[in-house]
Structure formats: C-alpha cells, structure tokens
Structure 1
Amino acid sequence: MNQNLSSYRIFYTVANAGNISKAAKQLYISQPAISKSIQKLEETLGCKLFSRSSRGVILTEEGALIYTHVKEAFETLDIGEEKLRRSLELGMGHLKIGVSSTLCKSMLMPYLKAFIENNPHISISINCQSTNETLDLLDDNKVDIGLVGKPNNLRNIEFYPIAKIKDIFVAKPEYLKNLSERGIPKEKYLSNSTLMLLNKNNFSRQYINEYLRINHIDTSESIEITSLDLLTDFAKIGVGIACVIKNFVKTELENNELVEVPCDFKIPQREVGLVYRSNIKHSKALDEFISFCKTSHSENFKI
C-alpha cells in the first residue's frame, strides 16, 4: 500500500459525506488539509477520485472502484474493533493448559468446571502430556499454565501448590493372599511379585525410582504401563502389584477391590500444583485463572 491509512480514512469519509466541509467537521481537520490529502492520493494513484458538483463532490469511476475496497477494509476494521471491545467487556480470552490425563481427570476438572461457570467467555485448550512434557511446553510458550508434580528445578517458573499426593503400592486382595500362601513374608511382597509401574519417562516413576533402588527392589522385570488408570485396572484383575497415587484410588480401597501393600520403607508425600512463567507478561485469561485457583484453594475447594 503506497498511502498511509489516514489518507484512505480521509478519502473514505469524504466519499461518504459527499462534501469536503462535512468531512472536515467529522474528522476535526481543516478543509485545506483534506483537499491536500485527496490531491496527494490522486497523484499517487494516477487518477481523479472525485469530481465537483453543485452539492459537493461525487466519486469518479476510478474513485468508485477504489472506494469499494476501502469500504470493505474499514468495515473489517470496525468489526475487529467491535469484537475487541466485546472481548474486553466480557472478559473473553483463550487459555492453554498442560496437564497429565490423570491429574486432569482427578484434580483439574473440578477447578475448570467452576472456573468456566464464572468465566463462560474464556475458551480453554487442554494439552494432555506428562509433567516433564508439560514443563517443556511451558518453556516453549506452547501452554500458558500447567498442573504438575512439583519439579526439582523451578528455573524461571512459579509453582503454586494445590494438593499433596502419596505414592503407594496396591494389589487385589486375592493376589496378596496367594503370596502369603506361598510363604512370602509381607516385607518381601514387592520383591516377589509382578511389579507394575508407569514408564520411565513419567515424573511419578522417576520420583519413586530412588526409593526402589535404595531398598533394593529390582525393577528390571517390571511391567511398564502408560497411564495410572490402566495400572489400577490391571491391579484390580490380579496381574500384579501396582504403584499408584493413593488420592486417586480411594474408591477402590474403600470397596476392598484393592488393598495397600505393606512395605518396610516410606515414600514421602509430594506436592502437585500450578506452574506458569514468571518472566513474561500474562494474558488477562491467565491471571483470571491463577487468581481463581488460588482463591478456591484458600477456601478449601474440594478436589
């Protein structure tokens, strides 16, 4: 475009008004300034845009042609401005969240349900990945916020804890009964069973690996499974002993579908929380979500 937007705005206003004097009043500029702008635009385009009449000015054939496109452009701008105005008034925005499928189902969903009810004009995108992958997406600005297990190195991110979780080993009662009948003492159950763990890239697996190593629990023959839900399901049908998060198998423990396996070492609780970049400007939608989660958490929001 050889002319700046203001020249076309003047042309557009004059064409609509059909009179330079009226256009000058609408634009709050002088008539000579308008005439000079139109003249410069005509010189650049190489044609006359207006012809004078007794009532003012009318578009030439060439002027009518360029007017069609200028009109469409300014109407598009007007639509854009209106959408922006409505977005600001309604609190519209887009929020990209990274979270594992397990934490999404068991922890994020209650927050999201209440948040969406209060902020229906904010659209949500969910990227279900592991904690490690979510942290990478956060680094690459591909998600705005994540729900993860607390990382060892916070780098340049903020971590706001919302819950504590506990890793335990579970099995079907009949599976443990079978081990007992074979004369295996309780403290040796883990070493003499089919052990089912999340895959090595999973943050939860990496967290318990050190405790398994210190206590000489061999994992070389363990079954690796990609999701906590599948671990739970396999344990429920008696495949072996699974390492799961106690918070997420409460129903199975209460119904005695699964029982906690006794072991002679303790795995400390760990924190789960929100992670977000501290060194970039946040969108309004992100700030709204962070504020909502912190307020909900401080009011003992049930998860």
Structure 2
Amino acid sequence: MLKRDQRIRVLYAVATCGGFTNAAEMLHLTQQAVSFQIKSLEDELGARLIHRDAKSVELTEEGQILVRYAKQILDLYSAAEDEISHSKGLYDGLLRVGCTGTLARVAVPGAIRLFREVHPAVSFTVSISNSEGVLDLLSRSIVDIGIVSAGPVDLEQYSIEKLFDDEVVFIAPADHQFAQRELVTPEELMSEPFVLREVGSGTRRVVGQYLKSLGVEIADFKVVTELGSSEALKAAVAAGIGLSATSSISLLGNPFRPPLAPINLDGPPLNRSFYLVMPVATGKRRVVGAFAKALRAANAVAFGATGSEREAEGSFHLPGRALPRASREPDVRALRARLSGQK
C-alpha cells in the first residue's frame, strides 16, 4: 500500500465520526493518539483545525478547508492503489463493509473467503448496523460498500445494485395456536403481543408497509419489545414474549433451537430485495466490484442458485476448482415446510 499521511486520515475520521472517541474506535487508536495526530497537523500548518469543548468538536474554517481536500486526497490514494492492483491482476489493501447482523453471520463470511482465495492481500473490516445505520456509515465514508434491505436509496452519489431476493416470514413459538392454524388474518395478529426490530431496521420498515397494504397499521399492534438484531428477536419469540416477522435468511442454518414455527398469514408473500450500495465517486470501484461478484457467488451457494444468480455464480472463478453447488433448497416454501416439521 502507498504510505499515507496518517494525520490526514485521522482528521477526516474526527470530522465524519463527530468526535475523538468515535474516530479512535473506528481507527483502532487511543484517544490520546488521535489528539496527538491532530495537534501535530495543527503545529505544522500553524492553524487551529478543531474547536474542542467538553461536549463536542467543531471544525474551524481552516479545518473545514482541509477536510474537504482530505477526502479528495484519500480517494486519490485509493484510486491509485486500485488501478495499480488491477494492472497486476491482484488486489490488496483494506475493504470496509457495512451490513446487517444477519448478513454478517450468513452471507458475508463466505464471500470474504472466496474473495481472499483469489486476492489474499486484501483484508476486511465488517461494521454491523441496520439498513439506516449502514447508509449513515456510507455517507460518512466509514465503510466502502454497504448491503441494505430498506430499498434503493434515491441519491445520485450512490451506485445501487440489486443483490438477491428474500422473503420476510411471520413467526411464533412452535406451541402457539397460530402455528397450528391453516390461515391467520392480519386482524388476529393485532390481538397478540408483538416483537419488532428497532426503528431504522429494513425489516421493520417493510413489515409496516406490508401490514398497511393488508389494511392494518403497525402502530395499532401490541408491541411489547423492540430488539436490535434478528437473533435477539428470534430468541424473544421462542421465549413466548410475542409474535414477530423476520428474514427467511436469518432462519438458515439450524435456526430452530429454541423452536419456532411459521404463521401462515392470509395475504401474499412478503418479498423484498437486498441491495449493494457504494458511493459513485469511490477510489475502490474495481476492488468493490470484484467483491460484489464474490458476494453474489457466495450467496448463490448459501441460498440456492437460480436464474440470474447462476450467472453471478459463474462470474467469479477460483483458480483450479469449481464453485461448490448449493446444498440448500432455494424455495422459501421448502423453508416453511422444514419449519412446520419442527412443530
């Protein structure tokens, strides 16, 4: 990698993260080290860059100017490294990914493994947040690429590509009366305690929109708990705290301990898509694009390859061997059948 002025990176991190503490956490430095780097930069420039008080930091006029150029400098470093790596046929450096906890558990590790078999010099950091949080990380250049489920972001500065489809499944404890019913109406759901993902979650957003299309409002449900992860949500449902809805991909990989069961809601399937989002003006376009192929290939294996996903699978080649075929049934109806068999 090109040797960069670490002080520029530290200043940009403080500005985008909103303070020394968050910047230190992101850069894996101590707060003292962050303060030292900023002070060194100020001494060299002979100008104060940041106003500090007990509660916040604020850029001076000189600080705002330098931060504006700092982003361009860091992007140019990334672009130069990216182009040089491409000319060699191999990538190196750091790729920062933002995604939900479910994807960090189910989808992203396989993609990293595939990618590093071809490009072993690339290292990764994975930041976990809900869809809204991932977009915030992207906007502050804390991650290079994001995977979100809240639908395409209508912003010109982002490149948005559909990654794969998913179905959101309504779930109950295996011994709940709704788990035994052939059909449950949306109005009947309103009579039961309900567990939801937190505000900002893509799952919560699409569930609210879906229920509204069926003539009920999520605001009228008996929401007893809000949780920040799919794993916590499933555990709450299994414990009998309430009913809920979760991504079908969060149910992959022996998810039914403690036991859960699907609710056959009287309505059409609740389908959604996951999207790959990255800034248009990124210096890592080639390496991000290559990782996107690995991500699609890994997901074709994890979730079952059909249609365009098979094309994606074929677009990422490992030297000397073929990509293994999917061992799981891709149809969510099969997932429902497996769930029902646990009752």
TM class, shorter-chain normalised? 0.5 to 0.7
User: Any stretches of 5+ residues in structure 2 without a counterpart?
Assistant: 1-80, 299-308, 315-322, 329-343
- The aligned counterpart of 1:43 is none
Q: Deviations over 1:148-168 (max 9, x none)?
A: 115343312222222211112
Give the secondary-structure state (helix, strand or coil) at the position aligned to 1:163: strand
User: Are 1:276 and 2:271 an aligned pair?
Assistant: no
- The aligned counterpart of 2:119 is 119
RMSD: 3.1
The structure with more radius of gyration = 1
- The aligned counterpart of 1:93 is 93
User: What CA distance in whole angstroms lies between the structure 1 residues aligned with 2:179 and 2:295?
Assistant: 46
Give the aligned residue type for 1:299.
E
Q: Deviations over 1:196-233 (max 9, x none)?
A: 11012212111211223343252353421111001111
Q: Deviation of residue 134 (structure 1)?
A: 1.1
User: Are 1:151 and 2:165 an aligned pair?
Assistant: no
Q: How does 1:1-303 map to 2 (within 5 A)?
A: 88=85, 91-149=91-149, 151-156=151-156, 157-176=158-177, 186-187=184-185, 188-214=187-213, 215-217=215-217, 218-219=220-221, 221-250=223-252, 257-282=259-284, 284-293=286-295, 297=309, 298-299=312-313, 302=326
Give the secondary-structure state (helix, strand or coil) at the position aligned to 1:132: helix
Summarize the Cα distance change of 1:178–1:131 in structure 2 as closer, same or farther, 3 Å threshold: closer
User: What CA distance in whole angstroms lies between the structure 1 residues aligned with 2:125 and 2:179?
Assistant: 46
Question: Comparing 134-143 with 264-273, which one deviates more in the overlay?
Answer: 264-273
Question: Comparing 237-246 with 145-154, which one deviates more in the overlay?
Answer: 145-154
CA contact (8 A) 2:112 2:294 kept: no
- The aligned counterpart of 1:80 is none
Q: Deviation of residue 100 (structure 1)?
A: 1.3
User: What CA distance in whole angstroms lies between the structure 1 residues aligned with 2:129 and 2:258?
Assistant: 31
- The aligned counterpart of 1:12 is none
Q: TM-score, normalised by structure 2?
A: 0.54
User: What CA distance in whole angstroms lies between the structure 1 residues aligned with 2:132 and 2:243?
Assistant: 25
User: What CA distance in whole angstroms lies between the structure 2 residues aligned with 1:179 and 1:221?
Assistant: 22
Give the secondary-structure state (helix, strand or coil) at the position aligned to 2:190: helix
CA contact (8 A) 2:190 2:222 kept: no
Summarize the Cα distance change of 1:186–1:268 in structure 2 as closer, same or farther, 3 Å threshold: closer
Query: How many residue pairs were aligned?
Result: 214
User: What CA distance in whole angstroms lies between the structure 1 residues aligned with 2:293 and 2:178?
Assistant: 49
User: What CA distance in whole angstroms lies between the structure 2 residues aligned with 1:283 and 1:249?
Assistant: 32
Give the aligned residue type for 2:113.
K
Give the aligned residue type for 1:205.
R
Q: TM-score, normalised by structure 1?
A: 0.61
CA contact (8 A) 2:172 2:179 kept: no
Q: Deviation of residue 262 (structure 1)?
A: 2.1
- The aligned counterpart of 1:3 is none
User: What CA distance in whole angstroms lies between the structure 2 residues aligned with 1:262 and 1:208?
Assistant: 15
Summarize the Cα distance change of 1:265–1:222 in structure 2 as closer, same or farther, 3 Å threshold: farther
Give the secondary-structure state (helix, strand or coil) at the position aligned to 2:281: coil
Q: Deviation of residue 176 (structure 1)?
A: 2.1
Summarize the Cα distance change of 1:97–1:178 in structure 2 as closer, same or farther, 3 Å threshold: closer
User: What CA distance in whole angstroms lies between the structure 2 residues aligned with 1:228 and 1:285?
Assistant: 30
User: What CA distance in whole angstroms lies between the structure 2 residues aligned with 1:240 and 1:130?
Assistant: 21
